[in-house]
Structure 1
Amino acid sequence: MEVRNPSPDLYNEDLAPVKERNWGAFSIFNVWTSDVHSLWGYYLAASLFLLCGSFTNFIVAIGLGSLVIFFLMNLVGYAGVKTGVPYPVLARASFGVWGANLPALVRAIVACFWYGAQTAAASGAIVALLTRTDSFMAFHTSTRFLGHSGLEVACFVVVWALQLLIIQNGMETVRKFQDWAGPAVWVAMLVLAVGLCIKAGGFSFDHAIPTEVLVAKTKDAGVTGAPGSLGALLAVAATWVTYFAALYLNFCDFARYAPDKATVRKGNLWGLPINLLLFSLVAGVTTIAAYKVYGEVLLHPEQISAKFDSWFLALLAALTFAVATLGINVVANFVSPAFDFANVFPRRIDFKKGGYIAAGIALVLYPFAPWEGNAAAFVGAIGATMGPLLGVILVDYYLIAKGNVDVEALYREDGEYRYQGGWNIKALVATGIGALFSSILPNFTSLLPAWWGVYGWFFGVAIAGGVYLVISSMPRRAPRSVPSKA
């Protein structure tokens, strides 16, 4: 649709309602293959598979978690199809035309952290390959720069720069890249799994990993309780759902290019519960086979490929997983901040400039590497910050507005979504209360039980959404009448 007379500070062509809807179910499916098939995704899937304790437990825990993800992505995706607007513009309906900059910047900052983490993971796969050569290994061990080896820095910068080339022509280039990268990674994953199973003497869902070794190797996955216990299975499902916290907010950035809800639903069905189960299954089976072949628990695929006798197979594996990780970075951590930063200054920042800003911040963060260390804490803390935002947006869109949004008013300073000077105070209050229980108390105090952090995202969604529904339902106090002057 065409927006008539938009406010210049709220509009540019990248933020406008989409005009061409040419993303079919295959492209939506590949949003998820690009998002899931990464080094971080493999590590998490393999860890959770092993911690389920049995194949049946895996189907129950990962399956239920994947269904929750499917349900939530459909809710967000349908809003994108109906309105045709990106996430920061949709957020204006809930937070106000200026207040939406808050959830937009939160999502953008989170993406910058993940952008750096995924770039570091992809470059790590290249480092693992190159250090098979003595000269590169010598350079790797003898040169230090910015807290990393010289080889790590060089690979990070190269991978970082390659990602910028993908977005030169906007979202259509993103679609073409992911349509190629997603299936390619599946082929490499299957080759890796089949090759290791042959070396291991056969296919197996069971492992002979001692419990103490298993617990020590998977401690960063964030799962409490003994492997296979009820507590562990609940934590597995919760961690899996939280891993997608960022995309729940901005999946409408992609779904808005689909022609209808059925296309989104079909792409999500194949890309989420079906793809997630199969990907986790292959990651788990590959890890079990690698343990039988090498006698080690290798949860990172670059660790497995580094042990290949064939340099060609090691090269193929390293490049494939590097490309896969670039895919998730472009989908999850470039597109969103590109729109988010553009939303703050539409006159000065377009999609491309917004993406460059995100990439620049990730580059600045690299020397500090905040993503290194406890992976569970990183995933949980990052995810928990976005739970309250999702709770407010879903409650506002589905329960209060009943799915009706005045799209043109989203681009007007004096329209329906002006609220109090452009800010919806009720949404901000609800978000603050939700963040208190999802992020602040569990991460910075010891007032809540240790297990609370695993479910922080859920508490954030429920508490913020519940508070917003209650305070939005309260009748407004009638303004006090002022006697007219005679």
Structure 2
Amino acid sequence: MIVSDPATPHRREGFESAPDPRLYNDDLAPTEPIRRTWTTYNYLALWFSMSMEVTTYMLASSLIAGGMNWKQAVLTILLGNVIVLIPMLLNAHAGAKYGIPFPVFVRASFGPMGANIPAILRAIVACGWFGIQSWIGGQAIAQMVAVLAPSTTGSPVVTWVCFLGFWALNMFVIWRGVESIRFLQSFSAPFMLIMSGLLLFFMLHKAGGFGPMLSAPSHFATHSAFWHFFFPSLTAMVGYWATLSLNIPDFTRYAKNQESQLVGQAFGLPVAMVLYSFIGIACTSASTIVFGRPIWSPVELLGEFHQPFLAFLGLVALLIATLNVNIGANVVGPSNDISNLAPSVISFRTGGLITGFLGLAMMPWKLMASFGSYVFGWLVGYSGLLGPVAGIMVADYFLVRGTQLDTYSLYRRGGMYEYSKGINPAAMISLVVGVAAALVGRVMPLVSFLYDYAWFVGFFLSGALYFVMMLGHRVRRSAVVS
């Protein structure tokens, strides 16, 4: 097998051939070496800035609301993020090595036409997250307005105006392009760390120290009750970053080298998530003491403060964090995915605008109606869609191809990734079987345990089935290479 220069998909074996316009545009092209400038710090900043935001806080606080004590909650979050780090780093390898984004990378396993299916699955989930983050940002602005004008508290008109205004701000940042994202990450990461520490210190002071804050015991009467809550919660922890575990090549394509992204992510993801999750856990526990009830939303918690300046400053910090993670985590990926549908007519910017409108259509106010719908409905549910895709991608890149890709063929029809009319039947069958097995427990109580482990069921079942079905292809490829 001939592996072309990752940065020059136009050239191969001494002659030039233009890429297929249906599979290529400037945003999908391999990143040129001169643009691969992201260092270890950029990836540390990426994860600290994306972790330190409202949905992470609410993810952690939901475990307390569900009955866990603080130690159980922290260990659940740490374990979930260590697990999801594995497919994250495996899929990140191709982005750093070849400079290709996720929609191009997935063509190797699904085919140039079949790749649209996992790309759109991932894009739909990201659109839902975009809507959720925009809704939370709008609520934060509404709380800021209420601090300045208490008569507006609870006004639906103010809430919706703030929501749409924050959504429009996101659209503006999208139009500015990917470099504005790196600027936001570098600026907001240290700022959010400082502001989160101040919030923790304030709640610590109000609650009378760490002792009262973290003294709440586990509320599970039996070990069986704990495990029944723990396993779907662990799946939700993995599902939280299931989208990024697929489209992480969209970021690692800018890495200076493999070491930069590997070290930055291996340290940044688990440390940032545990650190900020602990803040959410501690503050939620303290809210029970200070306000008489557990408040799992930091937006609502800040709204309870009687110091207008402190509340306003905290809400500004939430806005910066929410804007940063919404662009970094929920726009880059789906914009590339949507662009992949018709690269000649849909640019990154256009894909980002489409992402914004789809986020509105998914009604985020319903997805965030309660911590139960957020964790066990939204997070666990979509993990069953994305786990199978991750399993297929990892099996194909490492087990079937041995990390060797032909970037020339990734941008053209009729090559080694053509399969059957541009679709790999093995990948499609594995995807359908994995998704069906992961989600069937949602509607069939007898096998509800499959839904509790949705991401794991989909990842391992689809990956194993794909590898078995591709054994013949692997043998034929080896014969060609030899």
TM-score (norm 1): 0.88
> Residue 69 of structure 1 contacts residue 272 of structure 1 at CA under 8 Å; is this kept in 2?
no
Q: 254, 270, 292: which is aligned to 2:251?
A: 254
Q: Secondary structure of the residue that 1:8 maps to in structure 2?
A: coil
Displacement after TM superposition at 1:74 (Å): 1.1
Counterpart residue type for residue 239 of structure 2: T
Query: Structure 1 residue 384 and structure 2 residue 400: aligned?
Result: no
**CA deviations over 1:190-214 (Å, ceiling 9, x no partner):** 10000110122212386455866x9
Aligned to 2:4: none
Aligned to 1:160: 167
Counterpart residue type for residue 129 of structure 1: M
Instruction: Give, in whole Å, the separation in 2 of the partners of 1:60 and 1:476.
Output: 40
Pairing of 1:362-401 with structure 2 (within 5 A):
362-366=359-363, 369-373=366-370, 374-376=373-375, 377-401=377-401
Instruction: Give, in whole Å, the separation in 2 of the partners of 1:87 and 1:418.
Output: 18
**CA deviations over 1:33-71 (Å, ceiling 9, x no partner):** 232222111011123357684555445433222221222
Aligned to 2:433: 433
Q: Give the 3 Å change call, closer, same or farther, for CA 134–62 of structure 1 in structure 2.
A: closer
Query: Structure 1 residue 17 and structure 2 residue 30: aligned?
Result: yes
Q: Give the 3 Å change call, closer, same or farther, for CA 462–85 of structure 1 in structure 2.
A: same
Q: Give the 3 Å change call, closer, same or farther, for CA 238–205 of structure 1 in structure 2.
A: farther
> Residue 37 of structure 1 contacts residue 324 of structure 1 at CA under 8 Å; is this kept in 2?
yes
> Residue 166 of structure 1 contacts residue 177 of structure 1 at CA under 8 Å; is this kept in 2?
no
Counterpart residue type for residue 151 of structure 2: S
> Residue 97 of structure 1 contacts residue 413 of structure 1 at CA under 8 Å; is this kept in 2?
yes
Counterpart residue type for residue 78 of structure 2: G
Q: Give the 3 Å change call, closer, same or farther, for CA 190–34 of structure 1 in structure 2.
A: same
Q: Give the 3 Å change call, closer, same or farther, for CA 203–426 of structure 1 in structure 2.
A: same
Task: For structure 2, list consecutive stretches of 5 or more residues without a partner in the other structure.
Answer: 1-6, 11-17, 477-482
User: How much identity, in percent, do the aligned residues show?
Assistant: 31
Aligned to 2:101: 86
> Residue 15 of structure 1 contacts residue 86 of structure 1 at CA under 8 Å; is this kept in 2?
yes
Aligned to 1:2: 8
Query: Structure 1 residue 190 and structure 2 residue 197: aligned?
Result: yes
Note the aligned Cα RMSD (angstroms): 2.4
Counterpart residue type for residue 265 of structure 2: N
Displacement after TM superposition at 1:135 (Å): 3.1
Q: 49, 52, 59: which is aligned to 1:34?
A: 49
Query: Structure 1 residue 180 and structure 2 residue 179: aligned?
Result: no
Counterpart residue type for residue 2 of structure 1: T
Displacement after TM superposition at 1:392 (Å): 0.8
| Structure 1 stretch displaced more, 121-130 or 77-86 | 121-130
Q: Secondary structure of the residue that 2:402 maps to in structure 1?
A: coil
Q: 111, 131, 134: which is aligned to 1:119?
A: 134
Displacement after TM superposition at 1:401 (Å): 0.6
Instruction: Give, in whole Å, the separation in 1 of the partners of 2:74 and 2:194.
Output: 23
Q: Give the 3 Å change call, closer, same or farther, for CA 475–184 of structure 1 in structure 2.
A: closer
Q: 282, 287, 301: which is aligned to 1:290?
A: 287
**CA deviations over 1:347-376 (Å, ceiling 9, x no partner):** 001111110111122233348845535112
Aligned to 2:61: 46
> Residue 200 of structure 1 contacts residue 289 of structure 1 at CA under 8 Å; is this kept in 2?
yes
Pairing of 1:347-362 with structure 2 (within 5 A):
347-362=344-359
Instruction: Give, in whole Å, the separation in 2 of the partners of 1:233 and 1:367.
Output: 26
Aligned to 1:464: 462
Instruction: Give, in whole Å, the separation in 2 of the partners of 1:136 and 1:291.
Output: 26
> Residue 213 of structure 2 contacts residue 286 of structure 2 at CA under 8 Å; is this kept in 1?
no
Displacement after TM superposition at 1:274 (Å): 1.4
Counterpart residue type for residue 358 of structure 1: T
Instruction: Give, in whole Å, the separation in 2 of the partners of 1:210 and 1:62.
Output: 18
Instruction: Give, in whole Å, the separation in 2 of the partners of 1:56 and 1:39.
Output: 21
Instruction: Give, in whole Å, the separation in 2 of the partners of 1:476 and 1:77.
Output: 22
Aligned to 2:150: 134
Counterpart residue type for residue 304 of structure 1: L
Aligned to 1:218: none
Q: Give the 3 Å change call, closer, same or farther, for CA 361–476 of structure 1 in structure 2.
A: closer
**CA deviations over 1:432-474 (Å, ceiling 9, x no partner):** 10011112x123x225433432211111111111111111114
Q: Secondary structure of the residue that 2:19 maps to in structure 1?
A: coil
TM-score (norm 2): 0.89
Task: For structure 1, list consecutive stretches of 5 or more residues without a partner in the other structure.
Answer: 142-148, 216-223, 479-486
> Residue 55 of structure 1 contacts residue 205 of structure 1 at CA under 8 Å; is this kept in 2?
no
Q: Give the 3 Å change call, closer, same or farther, for CA 261–203 of structure 1 in structure 2.
A: same
Instruction: Give, in whole Å, the separation in 1 of the partners of 2:364 and 2:473.
Output: 52
Instruction: Give, in whole Å, the separation in 2 of the partners of 1:266 and 1:210.
Output: 36
Counterpart residue type for residue 17 of structure 1: P
Q: Give the 3 Å change call, closer, same or farther, for CA 273–476 of structure 1 in structure 2.
A: closer
> Residue 52 of structure 1 contacts residue 58 of structure 1 at CA under 8 Å; is this kept in 2?
no
Instruction: Give, in whole Å, the separation in 2 of the partners of 1:367 and 1:97.
Output: 32
Q: Give the 3 Å change call, closer, same or farther, for CA 238–476 of structure 1 in structure 2.
A: closer
**CA deviations over 1:224-244 (Å, ceiling 9, x no partner):** 964xx3444444433211211
Displacement after TM superposition at 1:96 (Å): 0.4
> Residue 111 of structure 1 contacts residue 333 of structure 1 at CA under 8 Å; is this kept in 2?
yes
Aligned to 2:334: 337
Instruction: Give, in whole Å, the separation in 1 of the partners of 2:475 and 2:306.
Output: 75
Q: Give the 3 Å change call, closer, same or farther, for CA 225–181 of structure 1 in structure 2.
A: farther
Instruction: Give, in whole Å, the separation in 1 of the partners of 2:37 and 2:474.
Output: 44
Q: How many residues align?
A: 456
Query: Structure 1 residue 412 and structure 2 residue 412: aligned?
Result: yes
